[in-house]
Amino acid sequence: MSAITDPPQGSFRLSMLINDTRYRSYTFQALAAIVLALCLGFFYANVSTNLAAAGLNISYDFLGSPAGYDINQRLIEYDSQSSNARAAVVGILNTLLVAFLACVTATVFGVLAGVLRLSNNWLVSKLMAFYVEIFRNIPVLIWILIIFTIMIAVLPGPRAFRGDEPEARMLLDLFAFTNRGVYTPGPYFTRGLGLEGNGGINWLIVLGVLVASFFGTRAVTARANATQEATGIRPNTLWTNLAIWFLPVIVLLFVLGLKWDIPELKGFNFAGGIKVGGPLIALWFALSIYTGAFIAENVRAGIQAVSKGQTEAAGALGLRPGRIMSLVVLPQALRVIIPPLISQYLNITKNSSLAIAVGYADITATLGGITLNQTGRAIECVLLLMLFYLTISLLISTFMNIYNNSVKLKER
Amino acid sequence: MKNTVFFGALAVAGLSAGAAAAGTLDDVKARGTLNCGVTTGLVGFAAPDANGVWEGFDVGICRAVAAAVLGDADAVEFIPTTGKTRFTALASGEIDMLARNTTWTFSRDVDLKFEFVGINYYDGQGFLAPKALGVTSAKDLDGATVCVQTGTTTELNLADFFRANNISYEPVPIETNAEGQQQYLAGACDTYTTDASGLAATRATFENPGDHILLPEIISKEPLGPLVRHGDNDWGDTVRWTLNALITAEELGVTSANIEELAAAPTNNPEINRLLGTAGELGAMLGLEPNWAMMAIKAGGNYGELFEKNIGENTPIGLARGLNAMWTEGGLIYSPPFR
Ligand SMILES: N[C@@H](CCC(=O)N[C@@H](CS)C(=O)NCC(=O)O)C(=O)O
C-alpha cells in the first residue's frame, strides 16, 4: 500500500504466493474455497453413505403423491387428495400471510412506541419503556403460547352462542369472537366476473383501480409541488386526493355488486364471512408485539441520532412540530432506522416458523412437519425448507436495500 | 486420484459408523442402560408417577427388555417422544427401541425402514365428544372442529373417514396428548380423535369423565406394538422374544407371584422350563443370560398382569381385554412357541 514504490519485476516464483501481497489474498481465498469444497464434499459423502447403509435414498417423488391430510387454513384449493407439493404451497402462502401481517403491525407498534418513548410526558415514556423491556426480553415462543392460551381460555366456544338465552353474543350482530377464531363479515360480489360472479379476478380489478388511484394522487402531489416551486403557493390537494382514492373504488364496487356475508352459527361452527383463525391471531399478534419492541428501539435510536440542533433550527424557521418531524427529523432518522428494520422483518419471517406450537399451518408445519413425518423424507424436506427461507430472506433484504438506497444520504 | 482416496476413506468411515449402529444389543450392554422411546405422557401407557418414576403398559415392555438384557428393570432411560419426533429419534439411534402406541403400517415398516417386533395392543381409532354436544355418531360430525395429533396415522384416517362419508371438518393439529386434552376441554375443538385406548386413558384423567362419550364408530385398525430399526436382526429378535415371553407366560400361567418357584427347578412342563431357562439354551442363542425371560417377566408380570395393572378394568382407564385377550380365550394375543 505505502511501502512499495517500485513493484518488483521479474519472473513469477512459487514463494510469491505467500510473500507477495499481490498474490497472498488470492492464495488464501483459493485455500478457503478448497477447504469449503472439501467440507461440503465430506457432508455429501457422509450423508449418502449413511443413507445407503440405512437402505434409504434421496428422492423428491413424494412431492407428487397425495398428502393424505387436511389443513385448516388454506388460501388456495386443497384437500387431502392433493399432492404434498400443493400442501407445501398452502404452507408457503400461510407463512407469507402471517409474515406480511406481522411486519405491517410490528412496524406500526414499533414506530408508535419508539416515538412515544421520547415523549415529554413522563407516564407515556415510562409506559413505552416498560412495553419495550417486557416484550423483547421474553422469548417470542412464550408470547405465542401465552396469547393462544389466554384466547382459548377467555373467549367462549361457538356453543356458547347457541340457544334463546345464549351465554355469549355477537358484537353488533356482525362479529363473533370465539376461542377458535374471530369471524367477521366477508365481502362478495353479486355481479362480478368469474365463477358465480365472484371470481378472484374481481379483486385483481379492485387492486388495479387502487394502484391507479395511487399513481393519480402521486401526480396531483407532483403538480402541487411544481406549482409551489413556481408561485410559492401550494394548492390544496386534500379533497382532490381523497376523491381520487375513494370515488373510483366506490363506483367499481357498486358496479360489481358488493354484498357482505355475515357469519352465522351453523351446526358446530360459525359459517359465512371471513374466519381469522385463533392460531393466526396468536401468531400474528405475538410476532407483532415482540418485534414491535425491537423496532421501537430502532426508531428511538434513529430519532435520537438526528442532532437536536436540527429540530431547533427547523423551529427557528417557523415549522410546526408535526412538520419538523415529517420534513426534518424523520427523513434523516430513516437512514438509521431502515437497515436494522430489514433484519427485524427477516426475524419475523423466520420466527413465523414457530407456528406449529399453536397449530398454524405454515410451511414448517406442512412440508417440514406433517409431510416430513408421514413420508419420512427428512433430508429432502429440510433442504426444501432451507431453500424457501433463504429465498424469502434474500428477497426481503433485496427489496429493503433498494428502499434504503432511495432514502440514504446521497453523497456526491 | 487424491480425491478418490479421500472419498474412499470417507466411505469407509461412513460404513463403519453404520456397522457400529447395527450392534444395538452390544451397545445397550456396554452402556448399561436401555434408551426407550415412550409418549410424552399418556396415563396407563407411559407417564411418570408422582415420584417421577415412569410407569404404564408401554413402559412395562421397556422394563421387560431392560431386565432381559441387563438383568435390571430400572436400567432404562425413558425418552419422551411426540408423534412427530418418535421416528427420527429411532432412526438416528437416539433410542434403541420405541414403545409408544405406534401403529404397525406398511409404509412405516417398508418405507421408513422400521421393524415392528409384534403387537401388544389391538386398537382402532375413535372419537371422544362431550355429552352436551348431543352427537351420537361420528357421521353427525359434519362441520365439526376436530383435535388430532400430527404425525400420526390418526390424522390420515381422519381425512379418509370424512372424505369417504362426504362430510367436512376442520382439523386442529396438536403435538401432544396433553395439548389435545387442554384444547378439547376448553372447547377449542368439538371432538378429540385418536386411538380408542388413548381416548379412554385421556378421559380417565378428566375431572368429570362421565360428561364425555366415546362415539360408537371405530374408523381404523391400529395394531400397536414396539419397534426397532430395520437391519439389526439380533436386536429385533431380543425385543420380539421378550414380548413373546410375556405373552407366553400368561398363556402358561407363569406370573410374577409364582415365577421364583417355577424357576427354582425344572417343572414337568417342558415349555415353561425352556422359557425360564431351566432347560435348553434359548438365552444363549439370543446372547443373553439363561434366566433372561424370567427377569423380563419378573419385572412387571406377564402380559395379562401388565394389562390389568395399567389399563385393565380395575384401573380408572377401565379397558376390557376384548381383542387383546389370549387366543385361548377368544382374543388375538398369540405368541409363537418357545422351542
Ligand atoms: N397409533 C397412532 C397414534 C399414536 C398416538 O399419537 N397416540 C397418542 C394417544 S393414543 C399418544 O400416545 N399420545 C401421547 C403423547 O402425546 O405423547 C400412530 O401410531 O400414529
Q: For residues A86 and A22, which has the higher predicted lDDT (pLDDT)?
A: A86
Q: pLDDT digit string (tens) for A258-306?
A: 778 888 887 788 887 888 888 999 999 999 999 999 999 999 999 889 8
The pLDDT, as a whole number, for residue B48 is 93
CATH superfamily of A61-153+278-412: MetI-like (1.10.3720.10)
The pLDDT, as a whole number, for residue A73 is 87
Q: pLDDT digit string (tens) for B93-109?
A: 999 999 999 999 999 99
Which residue in B178, B66, B94 sits closest to B86, CA to CA? B94
How many of the other CB atoms lie within 10 Å of CB of A323? 11
Is the confidence at residue B3, as pLDDT, over 70? Answer: no
Ligand 1 contact via B154 beta carbon (within 6 Å): yes
Sole residue written with cell 469444497: A37
CA of B256 to the centre of ligand 1 (A): 29
Answer whether B155 touches A (CB < 8 Å): yes
Average of pLDDT values for A190-211? 77
| B17 residue type, one letter | A
Confidence of residue A240 (pLDDT cuts 50, 70, 90): confident
How is chain A split into domains, by residue range? Answer: 1-57, 61-153+278-412
The pLDDT, as a whole number, for residue A199 is 67
Q: Is the dihedral of CA A334, A340, A341, A342 positive or negative?
A: positive
- Per the CB < 8 A criterion, the answer to whether A294 and A303 are in contact is no
CA of B152 to the centre of ligand 1 (A): 7
- Is A54 close to B173, i.e. CB distance below 8 A? no
Confidence of residue B2 (pLDDT cuts 50, 70, 90): very low
| Helix-helix angle A140-154:A278-305, to 10 degrees | 130
Q: What does the alpha-carbon distance between residue A151 and residue A155 come to, in Å, rounded to a whole number?
A: 6
- Contacts of residue A340, Cβ cutoff 8 Å, sequence gap at least 6: A298
Average of pLDDT values for A156-170? 74
- Contacts of residue B278, Cβ cutoff 8 Å, sequence gap at least 6: B263, B265, B266, B267
Q: What does the alpha-carbon distance between residue A324 and residue A360 come to, in Å, rounded to a whole number?
A: 43
Read off the DSSP letter of residue A74: -
- Per the CB < 8 A criterion, the answer to whether B194 and A164 are in contact is no
Query: Which residue ranges form the domains of chain B, and what is each CATH number?
Result: 23-122+224-329 (3.40.190.10), 125-220 (3.40.190.10)
Q: pLDDT digit string (tens) for A107-154?
A: 999 999 998 888 888 999 999 999 999 998 999 999 999 999 999 888
DSSP labels, B163-177? HHTT--EEEEEESSH
Q: Has the ipTM of the complex gone over 0.90?
A: no
Q: What does the alpha-carbon distance between residue A215 and residue A245 come to, in Å, rounded to a whole number?
A: 10
User: Of A176-180, A211-215, B78-82, B119-123, which gets the smallest average pLDDT?
Assistant: A176-180
CA of A170 to the centre of ligand 1 (A): 37
Average of pLDDT values for A59-84? 89
Average of pLDDT values for A311-325? 89
Average pLDDT, chain A: 86
Confidence of residue A74 (pLDDT cuts 50, 70, 90): confident
User: Of A74-88, A167-181, A241-255, A319-333, which gets the smallest average pLDDT?
Assistant: A167-181
- Per the CB < 8 A criterion, the answer to whether B155 and A366 are in contact is no
- Is B159 close to A69, i.e. CB distance below 8 A? yes
Interface of A with B (CB under 8 A): 38, 41-42, 45-46, 49-50, 53-56, 68-72, 79-81, 152-153, 156-157, 159, 179-180, 266-269, 271, 278, 356-357, 359, 361, 365, 369-370, 373-376, 378
Confidence of residue A8 (pLDDT cuts 50, 70, 90): low
Q: pLDDT digit string (tens) for A261-270?
A: 888 887 788 8
CA of B64 to the centre of ligand 1 (A): 21
Q: What residues form DSSP beta bridges with A176? A: A183
**Adjacency order of strands within the sheet including B169-174:** B169-174, B144-149, B191-195, B125-130, B212-214
Q: pLDDT digit string (tens) for B272-283?
A: 999 999 988 899
A299 by Cβ neighbours in 10 Å (0-12 / 13-18 / 19+) ranks as buried
The pLDDT, as a whole number, for residue A187 is 81
> Which atom of ligand 1 has the smallest separation from the CA of B105?
19
Sole residue written with cell 366477508: A186
Which residue in B36, B41, B107, B44 sits closest to B70, CA to CA? B36
Ligand 1 contact via B103 beta carbon (within 6 Å): yes
Q: pLDDT digit string (tens) for B244-260?
A: 999 999 999 999 999 99
Read off the DSSP letter of residue B28: H
> What burial letters (b/e) apply to B35-71, b meaning 16+ CB within 10 Å?
bbbbbbbbbbbbbeeeeeebbbbbbbbbbbbbbbbbe
A-chain CB neighbours of B189 within 8 Å are: 180
Q: What residues form DSSP beta bridges with B333? A: B326
Is the confidence at residue B12, as pLDDT, over 60? Answer: no
B264 by Cβ neighbours in 10 Å (0-12 / 13-18 / 19+) ranks as exposed
Is the confidence at residue A170, as pLDDT, over 60? Answer: yes
CA of B158 to the centre of ligand 1 (A): 14
Is the confidence at residue A361, as pLDDT, over 50? Answer: yes
The pLDDT, as a whole number, for residue A197 is 63
Ligand 1 contact via B81 beta carbon (within 6 Å): no
Ligand 1 contact via B102 beta carbon (within 6 Å): yes
Confidence of residue A198 (pLDDT cuts 50, 70, 90): low
Which of A374, A381, A382 should one mutate to test binding to chain B, selecting the residue with the greatest count of B CBs within 10 A? A374
Sole residue written with cell 407366560: B249
The pLDDT, as a whole number, for residue A129 is 92
The pLDDT, as a whole number, for residue A196 is 67
User: Of A159-163, A178-182, B143-147, which gets the smallest average pLDDT?
Assistant: A159-163
Ligand 1 contact via B193 beta carbon (within 6 Å): no
A-chain CB neighbours of B184 within 8 Å are: none
Confidence of residue B37 (pLDDT cuts 50, 70, 90): very high
Q: For residues A170 and B181, which has the higher predicted lDDT (pLDDT)?
A: B181
What the block records as the C-alpha cell of A412 is: 456526491
User: Of A252-266, A389-403, B169-183, which gets the smallest average pLDDT?
Assistant: A252-266
Is the confidence at residue B19, as pLDDT, over 50? Answer: no
Q: What does the alpha-carbon distance between residue A91 and residue A94 come to, in Å, rounded to a whole number?
A: 5
Q: For residues A155 and B63, which has the higher predicted lDDT (pLDDT)?
A: B63
Alpha helices in chain B (DSSP H): 2-22, 24-31, 57-70, 86-91, 106-110, 153-164, 177-185, 196-204, 233-252, 259-264, 270-276, 282-286, 292-300, 303-310
Average of pLDDT values for B216-235? 93
Which residue in B140, B254, B141, B130 sits closest to B187, CA to CA? B130
- Contacts of residue A308, Cβ cutoff 8 Å, sequence gap at least 6: none
What pTM does this model have?
Answer: 0.81
Which of B90, B110, B150 should one mutate to test binding to chain A, selecting the residue with the greatest count of A CBs within 10 A? B150
- Per the CB < 8 A criterion, the answer to whether B171 and B148 are in contact is yes
User: How much of chain A exceeds pLDDT 70, in percent?
Assistant: 94
Is the confidence at residue B155, as pLDDT, over 50? Answer: yes
* Nearest beta carbon to residue B173 from set A41, A278, A359: A359
Rg of chain A over Cα atoms, rounded to whole angstroms, equals 28
Confidence of residue A10 (pLDDT cuts 50, 70, 90): low
Q: For residues B20 and A255, which has the higher predicted lDDT (pLDDT)?
A: A255
Note the residue count of chain B: 339
Rg of chain B over Cα atoms, rounded to whole angstroms, equals 22
The pLDDT, as a whole number, for residue B197 is 92
Torsions phi, psi for B5 (to 5 deg): -60, -45
The pLDDT, as a whole number, for residue A4 is 55
Answer whether B159 touches A (CB < 8 Å): yes
